[in-house]
Structure 1
Amino acid sequence: MILFVNGPFGVGKTSTTGLIARRRPDALIVNPEDIGHMLWAQLPEALRTEEFELEPVWPPLTRCMLDQAARHYDRPVVVPMTIARQPVFDQIVRPLREAGHHVRHFTLLAEAATIRSRLRERGEGPDKWGPLSWEGNQVERCLDALRRPEFADHVDTEHRPAAAVADEILARAGLLPAV
């Protein structure tokens, strides 16, 4: 199974997937952000886009990595990544499903103020993008897109600890560990 945990920057994807991996030690976390950084390391500055979703090579690289990880390792593949553009999401998830992979997709949501507070708690602050970093400037855009039905199953993280969110995702995906 490929367990895709989506959501706006700062909503709690990394915390949640880390807890999923602790509950399921057999889980393999594949972070497409690392794929994007690897890609950027190969490209001269003039060829880099503002974000991974806009890199033309990033979706097929990500899809290939997820496909190969799911094929070659007999374990759940957990994917924490913000993908708020439907065409990019379709370039990654649709072909994985068409290739026979069981992909469960969950989108973490919270109120914009809560997400901004979480960004500040993790150390985000003013940078060249504005008063709360590039990620902070993306909150409304991501929430507007990710609240749409195409990005369901939605999981509310407002006023909930990451452990409760992780447990809900594991339960809904049928991946609760045997006790």
Structure 2
Amino acid sequence: MIVWLNGPFGAGKTTLAERLRERNPDLLLFDPEEIGFLVRKLIPAAESGDYQDLPVWRGLTATALAEIRKHYSQDIIVPMTLVRPDYLDELIGGLIRRGEDVLHVFLTIDERVLRDRIERQTMSPDRRRNEQIRDWRLAQVDRCLSARDLMPDGTRFLDTGLHTADVLADTILEWLGALRRGPSR
């Protein structure tokens, strides 16, 4: 199973992924942002400044997941904001079309709480770079929050402002267990 943790920047995807790994160390953690860092070094940036707009990033992300799956049977956690419907279909839809079982979880959060989290986060030890990241994330808040209504059928929603990462991790692990058992008879 691939567990795609989606939602706004700052909603808690990375923290939740870490909690899931703490509870089940057999889970693999694949962060497509690492591919984004690599792509940024290799090719010119997208006009938008978002490496997700580069087809090579999406292709490498899909290929990396396919290669990981080919060699490892464990569940894979993917913490990555993905809000454009065409990119959702390309990546998550593509995984499903390849026969992967995907649990797509979208983390929701109140806008004020999200903006406060982003303001308080330290993403880089370099103050100037941290400000750039913070400003970019803040500029994405409306787009990411409104994407909730664009999520594909089957998406499950969790509110990270109402529950701790521990509670959310327990919920996801329960969902995984239920999906493995299949429909109730």
TM bin (shorter chain): 0.7 to 0.9
Match of 1:110 in 2: 109
Please state whether the residue corresponding to 1:155 is helix, strand or coil: strand
Please state whether the residue corresponding to 1:138 is helix, strand or coil: helix
Amino acid at match of 2:58: P
CA distance in 2, matches of 1:66, 1:48: 26
Q: Alpha-carbon deviation of 1:115?
A: 0.8
Match of 1:141 in 2: 143
Amino acid at match of 2:102: V
Match of 2:167 in 1: 164
Tell me whether 11-20 or 148-157 shows the greater mean CA deviation: 148-157
% identical aligned pairs? 32
CA distance in 1, matches of 2:51, 2:103: 22
Match of 1:61 in 2: 60
Match of 1:14 in 2: 14
Q: Deviations over 1:67-110 (max 9, x none)?
A: 11122112111000000101011111112111111111100000
Going by fraction, where is helix more abundant, 1 or 2? 2
**147 and 170 in structure 1: CA distance in 2 versus 1, 3 angstrom threshold:** farther
Tell me whether 12-21 or 156-165 shows the greater mean CA deviation: 156-165
Which segments of 5 or more consecutive residues in structure 2 lack a partner in the other structure? Answer: 179-185
Please state whether the residue corresponding to 1:5 is helix, strand or coil: strand
Q: Alpha-carbon deviation of 1:112?
A: 0.9
Tell me whether 105-114 or 158-167 shows the greater mean CA deviation: 158-167
Q: Deviations over 1:150-176 (max 9, x none)?
A: 27211111232111111111111228x
Match of 2:181 in 1: none
User: Number of aligned pairs?
Assistant: 173
* Kept after mapping to 2: 8 A contact 1:32/1:79: yes
CA distance in 1, matches of 2:98, 2:162: 37
Q: Alpha-carbon deviation of 1:134?
A: 0.3
Alignment of 1:153 with 2:156, yes or no, is yes
* Kept after mapping to 2: 8 A contact 1:48/1:55: no
Amino acid at match of 1:123: T
Please state whether the residue corresponding to 1:106 is helix, strand or coil: strand
